[in-house]
Amino acid sequence: MFNPRNPRFKNMKRMKPRIAVFKYSCCAGCEFQLIFFQKHLLETLKAVDVVYCKMLKSGGVEAGPFDVALIEGAITEEWQASQLKKIREASRYLIPIGSCAVCGGIPAIKNSTDELDVEKRVYADTAFLHSVTAAPIDHYVKVDGYVKGCPMGERDLDELVISLLLGKKPVFLEYCVCVECKLRGAICVLVAYGEPCMGPVTNAGCGALCPVNNRACYSCWGPMRDANAKALADQFLKMGLRKEDIFRKFTEFGQPTDEFKPGALT
């Protein structure tokens, strides 16, 4: 990941990678997951220099430069977008962490409702609000990979940290939950038990946590690249699900994504 030939940050070559963590609209669970990186926290902190992370320490250098900026949360206000662009400028690598940052996640559920209605439902006085449609990070800036999950998954996080330490480009999982499910030998809950499982269209990384426990996947990792959401939605219809339920399944996580739109519109 740290290409020594990259001229831009030449003088930083021998230094510990400088990490910054920024939080936008989300539950802060991913940042917590980072700090709660139980098994490897000590090794990681020895090897990297966390220069900005509100949950870890006060203060910090907000302006950068950073080797890696980790962004959690969706963009739901204008100021967030402009700050994000500045962070992008100041960072070599910018990686969204967790479903909200990767694909809109929970905050993006509001996108299906009129923005004013959403504001009114939550706040008595909406005069001071400048909220916008919730969007993932890559809607505003170029990103260098995604650590998916809700909260972000351990496998991809491990891969990110190890890649940082080894100086390689991380290889994140891009296949669906079904792969992990079968690799664990779990019975397919969609086929065998008729559960409306979102596994076939959902990105892997969780180790098929729900299907392994005989529960349908609800897509908290967000969509897999090239997912065929329409075909799965059609199958749900055949199984007797109502259209509203199918809509909810495809907008619970990943509302703004192109992959899930055809499913939600079924």
Partner 1 sequence: MKINPGNPLLPLRAVVLHKTRETENTFSLKLSLPDTRPVTFQPGQFNMLGIPGIGEAALSFSSLPIGKRSFVHTIRLAGNVTEALSRVSKGDRVHVRGPFGNGWPVQQAKGKNVVIVAGGIGMAPLRPVVYYLLQNRKSFGKLLLLYGVRSEEDILYRDELEDWLKSGEIKVLLSMDEKPRKGILGARQGVVTTLLDAIDVPLADTVTFTCGPEIMMRFVARQLIIRGQGGNRIFVSLERRMKCGTAHCGHCQIGAKYVCKDGPVFAYADIKRFADTLL
Partner 2 sequence: MKDAQGEGYLLARDDLFDWTDTLLRDFAVQGPVLKKKGQTVFERIDDPSSLQLDYCSTMLAPRNFIYPQRQEFLHIQRSSGQTRVVTPAPAARNILFAIHPCDMHAITVLDRIFSRDSWDFSYNKARHETITVVLNCAKACDQGFCSSMGTGPFLKIKDGYDVEITPVDRAYVMEFGSRRGRDLIRKAANLRRITGADLSQKKRVEKKAEASFTKFLDTKGLPELLARTLNHSVYKVTADTRCLNCTNCTMVCPTCYCYNTEDLTRFDLKQVERKRHWDSCQELNFARVHGGNFRSSREARLRQFVTHKLCTWVEQYGCVGCIGCGRCMTWCPTGIDLTEMAKEIQRDWSPAEKR
Using rule CB under 8 A, residue 168 touches partner 1: yes
Interface with partner 1, residue 194, by CB under 8 A: no
Kindly state the number of chain residues that form the binding site for partner 2, as judged by CB under 8 A. 39
Residue span binding partner 1 (CB under 8 A) among the ranges 33-41, 44-52, 167-175, 218-226: 167-175
Paired residues of 176 in beta bridges: 203
Which H or E element spans position 233?
A: helix 229-238
For residues 6 and 22, give the distance between their C-alpha atoms in angstroms, rounded to a whole number. 25
Does 184 bind partner 2 (CB under 8 A)? Our answer is yes
Backbone φ, ψ for residue 57 (5° rounding): -155, 155
Residues 41-70 that bind partner 2 (CB under 8 A): 43-44
Q: Does 89 bind partner 2 (CB under 8 A)?
A: no
226: left (phi over 0), alpha (psi -120 to 50) or beta: left
Q: Find all residues with CB under 8 Å of 253, minimum gap 6, and list them.
A: 99, 103, 104, 105, 106, 150, 218, 219, 220, 221, 222
Measured CA angle at 81 (ends 79, 84), to 5 deg: 110
Smallest separation (angstroms) from partner 2 to the CB of 129: 40
Sites for partner 2 among residues 123-182 (CB under 8 A): 161-162, 165-166, 171, 174-176, 178-179, 182
Nearer to partner 1, 166 or 265 (CB): 166
Q: Helix, strand or coil for residue 58?
A: coil
Site residue total, partner 1 (CB under 8 A): 7
* Binding residue (CB under 8 A) for partner 1 from 3, 6, 113, 214: 3
Identify which of residues 106 and 147 has a Cβ nearer to partner 1 in the complex: 147
What whole-number distance in Å separates Cα of residue 84 and Cα of residue 78?
10
Please name the residue that has the structure tokens 């739109």.
261
Q: Which residues bind partner 2 (CB under 8 A)?
A: 39-40, 43-44, 161-162, 165-166, 171, 174-176, 178-179, 182-185, 187-188, 190-193, 197, 199-201, 214, 224-228, 230-232, 234-235
Q: Which residues bind partner 1 (CB under 8 A)?
A: 3-4, 166-169, 171
